[in-house]
Amino acid sequence: MQVTRTMEMISTTRIRRALDRAEEAMPYKDALTGMLANVAGTAGDGSQPLLRKHDRVRKVLFILIASDRGLAGGFNIIPERQVEREMAELEAKGIASELITCGRKPSEYFIARGITPAMTFIGISSEPTQDEADRIATFVMDGYADGDFDLVRIYYWHAKNRVDQTYVSEQLLPLSQTGLMMPNKPRTHEALGEIEHVLETEFEFDPSATEVLGYLIPAHVRTVVYHALLDSAAAEHGARRRAMRAATDSAEEVLKTLSHAYNRARQGSITTELNEIIGGASALEEDS
């Protein structure tokens, strides 16, 4: 109980900083999404490979963001089992799949089942870096543009606040041009704020709108991945805090039960000793 209470206190201290990091990244993400929507509306000629939907899905890439450590309830096992289930369903349909894992737990989970991730990041789940996001985004964008993947999905936990976490499963690539045209429509499970946006079509671009879009799309993908890592880090501390609170409460109940059992046994022992003393005194009085 002392251990779980201490871990709860540590997670409570860390979650505020992790939430602040995720919230500080939101304005840039929202502004970039709005800008990308405007430019995509002007340069929507289908020339960007990350906007083009492939004719047929032959291979799917999964990005799973979880934790390096356990003791966080279902934080790791829920996304691990879902990704494993979806990979099995794709295999049954003749569709190949590949995996990127962020966190020691999901890496060990899939390696133990004979699935070797294409990329693995260990030791930084609670303190993700921009370098990690850039490496993932570069691998993903290059692979999709070259036709190595036809669909990219990302899985992580979104920290709504200090207490609640929401599981997120969404498509990262191809980017939906229709969705980009309406960035003020928040996605259900993602930490996107309402974006006040009015679509403008009469912009002059130098260089061309298509070239500007070529810079914005990679920046958008990197930002989405980085924010997912930050969001997952905050959710991890929240999930561990809740799991340790439940463990502490359970330990308190066990302690109460054991104390009652101990007291009953102790009272029974005292009663037995008193009866023996009284019986012995009575025997002495009879002998005298």
Q: pTM of the predicted model, to two decimals? A: 0.75
Residue-level pLDDT at 118: 93
Residue-level pLDDT at 203: 67
Query: Between residues 195 and 40, which one has the greater pLDDT?
Result: 40
Residue-level pLDDT at 42: 64
Q: If you average pLDDT over residues 26-43, what whole number do you get? A: 75
Q: If you average pLDDT over residues 214-227, what whole number do you get? A: 88
**Is residue 280 over pLDDT 70?**
yes
Q: If you average pLDDT over residues 80-100, what whole number do you get? A: 94
Angle between helices 104-111 and 77-92 (to 10 degrees): 40
Q: With helix as H, strand as E and coil as C, how does the chain read?
A: CHHHHHHHHHHHHHHHHHHHHHHHHHHHHHHHHHHHHHHHHHCCCCCCCCCCCCCCCCEEEEEEECCCCCCCCCCCHHHHHHHHHHHHHHHHCCCEEEEEEECHHHHHHHHCCCCCCCEEECCCCCCCCHHHHHHHHHHHHHHHHCCCCCEEEEEEEEECCCCCEEEEEEEEECCCHHHHCCCCCCCCCCCCCCCCCCCCCCCCCCCCHHHHHHHHHHHHHHHHHHHHHHHHHHHHHHHHHHHHHHHHHHHHHHHHHHHHHHHHHHHHHHHHHHHHHHHHHHHHHHHC
CA dist 10 and 127 (Å) reads: 15
**Is residue 58 over pLDDT 70?**
yes
**Is residue 192 over pLDDT 50?**
no
Token pair belonging to 232: 């997952």
Find out whether 65 and 156 touch, Cβ atoms under 8 Å: yes
252-262 pLDDT tens trace = 888 888 888 88
Residues 97, 102, 104, 106, CA torsion sign: negative
- Find how far residue 191's CA is from the centre of its chain: 12
131-180 pLDDT tens trace = 999 999 999 999 999 999 999 999 999 887 777 788 888 888 887 654 45
Residue-level pLDDT at 116: 93
Find out whether 203 and 37 touch, Cβ atoms under 8 Å: no
Residue-level pLDDT at 105: 93
- By percentage, how much of the chain surpasses pLDDT 90? 29
Among 5-14, 42-51, 234-243, 269-278, name the one with the lowest average pLDDT.
Answer: 42-51
Q: What are the structural domain ranges in the chain?
A: 2-243
pLDDT range class, residue 181, cuts 50, 70, 90: very low
pLDDT range class, residue 104, cuts 50, 70, 90: very high
**Is residue 8 over pLDDT 70?**
yes
User: Which neighbouring-strand residues pair with 100?
Assistant: 63, 119
Report the CATH number of the 2-243 domain. 3.40.1380.10
Residue-level pLDDT at 44: 57
Residues 88, 92, 93, 94, CA torsion sign: positive
Residue-level pLDDT at 211: 79
**Is residue 198 over pLDDT 60?**
no
Q: If you average pLDDT over residues 187-209, what whole number do you get? A: 54
**Is residue 39 over pLDDT 80?**
no
Query: Between residues 41 and 242, which one has the greater pLDDT?
Result: 242
Query: Between residues 209 and 97, which one has the greater pLDDT?
Result: 97
Find out whether 157 and 165 touch, Cβ atoms under 8 Å: yes
Backbone φ and ψ for 163, nearest 5 degrees, come out as -105, -45
Residue-level pLDDT at 195: 44
